[in-house]
A and B are shown apart, each in its own frame.
Chain A
Amino acid sequence: MTRKIRSHIVQEEPLLFELSSPGKRGCQLPALDVAAVDPREALGEDNVRVEIEGFPELSEVEVVRHFTRLSTWNYAIDLGMYPLGSCTMKYNPRANEAAARIEGLAWAHPYQPEDQVQGCLEIMARLEQALAEITGMDAVSLQPAAGAHGELTGILLIRALLASRGNPRRKILIPDSAHGTNPATAAIAGYEVENIRSNDRGMIDLEAFPSLVTEDVAALMITNPNTLGVFEVNIARIAEILHSKGALLYMDGANMNALAGVTRPGDAGVDVLHLNLHKTFSTPHGGGGPGSGPVAVKKELEPFLPVPRLKPVDGQWRWDYDRPQSIGRVRAFYGNFGVLVRALAYIMACGAEGLRAATVDAVLNANYVRKALEPYYDLPHKEPSMHECVFSDRRQARHGVRTMDIAKRLIDYGFHPYTVAFPLIVPGAMMIEPTESESLRELDLFIEAMIAIAREAEENPELVRTAPHSTRTSRVDEVTAARKPVLRWRPEG
C-alpha cells in the first residue's frame, strides 16, 4: 500500500472572497501618460458602475499562495497514471508549452494582414497537411475548438453535401456504445437520432446493418476503435453499404491514438472525421480544455468546409473567404491556434516512426493490463483490445462493491480512477486506457493496486465502498449539490 503514496502536508485555504481585505491589490499599472478621463463624463452617469460589489482585494503573494495551495488538491498526469478510458490522458511534452509561448506566435493578432502573419499560416498549413496524411483524408479544417465542435462541423458538412444533392435526409445512425456527444451533435445539426444495437461482439451487426440504411439516413457516426476498445473489422464494408445508399460515414476520431501510423480511416472509406488534438496529439487537457477538434474530409466535402480556408497565392499563404458552398464559420477567427502549435510540435518531434511507436506502445500497454487483470475482473467482451479494455464490476458487485467504489479506492493507491460506467452497453463498466506514456513500473503498480482492491472487495468491502480514505476531501455529496444548487459564493448573513 505504500509503494506509490504516503500522506503529506496539505494546507487549508479559504476562497478568494474570504481572504479579501479592503485596500489591497496584486498588481501595479504603469503611470498614466495621458490625461485621465472621468468615466461619468465620457460614458454618461447612468452607464458607470460605482464598484464591482464583492470583488476580492488581495496582494500578489496571497494570490500566488492561494492558487499554489489549490493546485496541491489536484491529481494530474504529471503525478502519475490517469487510466481514463476514451479520454487519452497521455504525457504533455513541456517543449510544446514553450512552443505555444514563443512571442512571435503568441502575440500575433488575428486581424493582422496576412503578409504579417506568414509564420502562423505556415504552421497551420503544415498541421493541416500532416493531419490529412495521418488520417488518409483529402482536406482538413482547424477551426473547431474541441471534439464536440468538430463533430458538429462534420455533421453540418454532411448535411450541406446531401442538401446540394437535393435532400439532406432526416436521420443519423449512432451505435449504442457511442460517446454522448454524438447524439447531442446530431440533434443540434437538425437530425433525428436512431440508436443501433451492438452485436454480442460489441460491434456493428453487419447482418442487420443494411436494412437500417434507408433513404432517410444521412450518415452513420462510428467510433473506431469503438468505446470497447475494439476495432470495427467490417468498417470498409460498412462504408460501402452506406455509400451504395447515398449515405456517408462519419468517424469519431477520439480513439485515433490507436490507429495513427498503423491504419488510416480514409483508406477504409470514412468520409468525415474529427480529431481531438488534446487526446491523440498530446496537447494538455488543462482541467477540461482548451482542446482543438480539427475536421478531416474527403474531396467531395471540401467545398463545404468552414470559411476562411488557407490558400497559396504567389508563394504566400492567404485566407480565402470566397467559398460560396461553405457551411460558414463555426467560431470567430481561425481556431485554437495555441493548441495547433503544440500539436504540430508533437508531430514534428514524433515523426512518422514515433507516431507509430506511440500507437504500438498504447496498444501493448492496454493488452498487458487486460491480461494481468483478467483473472480478477469480469471481461464481458473477449474481442482483441486496441488501446483500451473494458471490464465490468460483476464479480465485485456480489460483495456490494460497484465500479465507482473500485474507482474511488484506486485513488488511495495513488492513481486516478478509470472511466466509470461507460460505455453504456456494459453494466458496471470499468474502462481502462493506460496510453503509451506509462512505464512498465507504473503499469505494474497499477495492476498490483487493482488486484489488491479485488481482494479487498471480497475481504473488506466496506473499506472499498467508503473510499477514498487518503484524500483531503472524502466522497462528496453530489446529490445535494444538484438538489440545492449553490453555484456562487455569497457573503454570510
Chain B
Amino acid sequence: MRFLPKSDAERRRMLEALGLESLEQLFAQIPPELRLEEPLPLGPGLSEFEVLEFLQACGRRNVVGRPCFLGAGAYFHYRPAVIEALASRGEFLTAYTPYQAEISQGLLTAIFEFQTLICQLTGMDVANASMYDGSTAMAEAAFMARRITGREHVVVAASVHPEYREVLRTYARNQAIRIREAPYDPETGRVDTGRLAALLDADTAALVVQSPNFFGVIEPLPLAAEAAHSAGALLIHVFTEAVALALLKPCEQADIVAGELQSFALPPSYGGPYAGVIATRERFVRQLPGRLVGQTTDTRGQRAFCLTLATREQHIRREKATSNICTNQALVALMATIFMALYGKQGLRELAEQNLAKAHYVAGRLERRFSGPFFNEFVARCGGRPPEQINRDLAARGIIGGLPLGRFYPELADAMLLCATETSRREDMDRLIEVFGAGEQP
C-alpha cells in the first residue's frame, strides 16, 4: 500500500523488538468473536490513476461549466489562482489546530488577520476564527443571544435562508427555545417591520434578520435593531453573500453578525466545505463559541499570537462550554483571508459594484416579484409558466437557470430566485432574458 512507508523486513524487525511473532498478535486483546474473519467487501486498492479516472468520470456526469444563475447561499465568483497556490502549501494544508504556538505562528498570524478583516467588513469589535458554515453560525449566534440575555425565545425573519431556519429549529428543539417567524412584506420582500413589535416580547433573546435576505433584498437593519432593542432583545445580522458587505453600510446597532464566507474562498463544491463566522461586540466576547486568536509576546518580547480565551471551549469547560465545536474551517478562513488581501479595499468594492451592475442588468429586463432594493440576487416572476419549465428551456440553451421558490415558499410558486455575479457574461444574461421573454408570446 503506497501510503505505508515500511518494508516487510522493517515490520519484522519491529515485531522482534516487541517480542511478537505475528502482526495479528497486536490485536490479541480484542475478543476473538469481534475480530473480522473476512476482508471488508471494499475490493482491492486502486492506483492513483484509477481513482482519479473514476472521480473525473463522476465529474463528467455532472452538468458543470455552463453559465449558471443559481445563488441562494452558494455563489459563483472568480477565484484568483493565488488562493489555491498558497492554501495548498503543505505548511498550511497539513498542519493541525495551532495549539502549539511556537510552531504555528504562520496560521495564527493569518487567523488574527482574518479576525481583523471580518471586523472591518462587519463593523464589529471581535470575530471568531470560523464556524462550520453560515447556517450553524446562525444557530450558534442564537444560542449566544440566549446566554447573554437569559431569555429563551428567538424571532427569525421568514426572509432568512430556509435551510438556515431549519438548522436553527434542529439545534433549538431540545433547548426549550421557541422560534417564531416574522413574515415578510409581500410587496417589498423585506421583513414586515410593522409586525415585529407584536412578535418581540420580554422573553425574546434575539431577532434574526438576513441582509441581503434570501430574496436578495436589502433589509432595513436599523429599523429591525430598533424593534429588537426596544423589547430588550439583540439583533443578529445574518449574511450569505459576503461580497455584499463591501458595499453595504455595516449596521451599527447590530449585536451579533453571523454569516457565510463561501463567496470569498471556495467554489460552490456541491454545498461544502464553506466557512461560517460570528462577529460581535467586545462586551459579548466571553459568550462567543469557537476558537479565537489573540496577540501576545514571547519570552524574548517579540509579538506573537496564540489561541486564547479557551475557558469558553469544550476541551476546558466540557459540559459548561459555550459550544461543542472543536474542528472548525481554518483552511477556508485562510483562503478567505488571501481573497480579501488580494482584492483589497478598492478591488472588493469594484467586485461588489460589478455584481450589483450585472444583477440590475438582468432584473431590469425581467419582471421582479419584490420592490425592495437588491444586491446580486432577485426574485423574478415567471409570467404564468412553471419555473421548472423555464429552467428546462434554459437547459436546452446550455444555461443553468435559477432556484424555483415554491419548494420553500408555496406562495411564491410562480417565482424564481436568480443571481448574477462578476462571472456572468452579458451574452449569457441576454440568452436568459430571451428565454424568460419567450413565454410571453403565444
Residues facing A in B147-181 (CB within 8 A) are 161, 163-164, 166-167, 169-171, 173-176
Instruction: From B115-123, B200-208, B229-237, give the one contacting chain A.
Output: B115-123
A149-168 CB contact bits vs B (8 Å, 1 = yes)? Answer: 10110001001000000001
Q: Of B72, B343, B426, which one neighbours A27 at CB under 8 angstroms?
A: B343
Q: What is the CA–CA distance of A27 and B395 in the complex, to the nearest angstrom? A: 32
**Contact yes or no, B5 A78, CB < 8 A:** no
The distance from the CB of A128 to the nearest CB of chain B, in whole angstroms, is 13
**Contact yes or no, A485 B309, CB < 8 A:** yes
A212 interface hit (Cβ, 8 Å)? no
Instruction: Name the residue among B51, B268, B273 with the largest chain A CB count within 10 angstroms.
Output: B273
Q: Which residue of B lies closest to A365 (CB)?
A: B14
A335 interface hit (Cβ, 8 Å)? yes
A299 interface hit (Cβ, 8 Å)? no
A296 interface hit (Cβ, 8 Å)? no
**Contact yes or no, B323 A184, CB < 8 A:** yes
The distance from the CB of A138 to the nearest CB of chain B, in whole angstroms, is 15
**Contact yes or no, A263 B299, CB < 8 A:** no
The distance from the CB of B330 to the nearest CB of chain A, in whole angstroms, is 3
A interface size (C-beta, 8 A): 203
**Contact yes or no, A345 B55, CB < 8 A:** yes
Which residues on the B side are within 8 Å of A397 (C-beta)?
Answer: none
Q: What is the CA–CA distance of A475 and B297 in the complex, to the nearest angstrom? A: 9
B315 interface hit (Cβ, 8 Å)? yes
The distance from the CB of B412 to the nearest CB of chain A, in whole angstroms, is 15
B226 interface hit (Cβ, 8 Å)? no
B125 interface hit (Cβ, 8 Å)? yes
**Contact yes or no, B52 A159, CB < 8 A:** no
The distance from the CB of B56 to the nearest CB of chain A, in whole angstroms, is 6
The distance from the CB of B254 to the nearest CB of chain A, in whole angstroms, is 14
Q: Which residue of B lies closest to A91 (CB)?
A: B3
Instruction: Name the residue among A52, A149, A291 with the largest chain B CB count within 10 angstroms.
Output: A52
Q: Of B55, B120, B426, which one neighbours A102 at CB under 8 angstroms?
A: B55
**Contact yes or no, A262 B36, CB < 8 A:** yes
Q: What is the CA–CA distance of A193 and B292 in the complex, to the nearest angstrom? A: 26
Which residues on the A side are within 8 Å of B302 (C-beta)?
Answer: 473-474
The distance from the CB of B171 to the nearest CB of chain A, in whole angstroms, is 8
Q: Of A190, A360, A473, which one neighbours B101 at CB under 8 angstroms?
A: A473
**Contact yes or no, A74 B95, CB < 8 A:** yes
Residues facing B in A291-305 (CB within 8 A) are 291-293
**Contact yes or no, A122 B332, CB < 8 A:** no
Residues facing A in B99-120 (CB within 8 A) are 100-107, 109-110, 112-113, 115-117, 119-120
B328 interface hit (Cβ, 8 Å)? yes
A332 interface hit (Cβ, 8 Å)? yes
CB within 8 Å for A341 and B130 given contacts A130-B42, A476-B296: no
A357 interface hit (Cβ, 8 Å)? yes
Q: What is the CA–CA distance of A71 and B331 in the complex, to the nearest angstrom? A: 12
The distance from the CB of A169 to the nearest CB of chain B, in whole angstroms, is 12
B2 interface hit (Cβ, 8 Å)? yes
Q: What is the CA–CA distance of A411 and B338 in the complex, to the nearest angstrom? A: 28
Q: Of A120, A264, A328, A384, which one neighbours B170 at CB under 8 angstroms?
A: A328
Q: Of B1, B64, B308, B361, which one neighbours A350 at CB under 8 angstroms?
A: B1
**Contact yes or no, B95 A148, CB < 8 A:** no
Instruction: From A111-119, A243-251, A388-396, A450-458, give the one contacting chain B.
Output: A111-119
Q: What is the CA–CA distance of A162 and B339 in the complex, to the nearest angstrom? A: 47
Residues facing A in B46-86 (CB within 8 A) are 46-48, 50-52, 54-65, 68, 70, 72-74, 76, 80, 82, 84-86
Instruction: From B22-30, B191-199, B434-442, give the one contacting chain A.
Output: B22-30
**Contact yes or no, A67 B110, CB < 8 A:** yes
CB within 8 Å for A146 and B326 given contacts A73-B106, A286-B92, A333-B272: yes
CB within 8 Å for A78 and B270 given contacts A52-B348, A355-B40, A476-B304: no
**Contact yes or no, A348 B120, CB < 8 A:** no
**Contact yes or no, B247 A78, CB < 8 A:** no
**Contact yes or no, A482 B45, CB < 8 A:** no
Q: What is the CA–CA distance of A43 and B422 in the complex, to the nearest angstrom? A: 18
The distance from the CB of A219 to the nearest CB of chain B, in whole angstroms, is 14
